[in-house]
Amino acid sequence: MQRIVDVIFRRERNDPAIPVCPSHRVEMRLRGKQGQPTRFQDQTEEQYTLIYFCPVDKCDQSAERKQVRTQIPVPGEPPERPLFARPNDRT
């Protein structure tokens, strides 16, 4: 929602795509992400949490970034469900 408000008011965010460690001033590395992709017809947007860590030894700084992935549904054609979710279609 915040992204839509920023587009409407023509705001530009200056946040770096990859966070920087406040102690060492180096780019952090991606540790992992939390969230799942949208799979079903009524879901069109899903939010992920990206978790970053500082690569310097004995530094315990970490950062989180929220990222939204949007799936544009095609009218009349729902996205294909994964095989494990379709027990009747297994061969």
17 SS3 class = coil
Structural domain of residue 43, as residue ranges? 2-72
**Chain centre to alpha carbon of residue 27:** 18
Does 89 have pLDDT greater than 80?
Answer: no
Within-domain flag for 56 = yes
Alpha-carbon span 87 to 91, nearest angstrom: 9
Within-domain flag for 6 = yes
Within-domain flag for 90 = no
Per residue in 58-73, pLDDT (tens digit) is: 999 999 988 777 666 6
User: In the predicted model, what is the mean pLDDT of the chain?
Assistant: 76
How many structural domains compose the chain? 1
Within-domain flag for 87 = no
Residue 3: CA count within 13 A, CB half-sphere: 8
Decide which of 67 and 16 is more confident: 67
With beta carbons less than 8 A apart as the criterion, state whether 71 and 43 touch: yes
Q: The sheet that has 62-70: what strands, in order across it?
A: 29-34, 45-53, 62-70
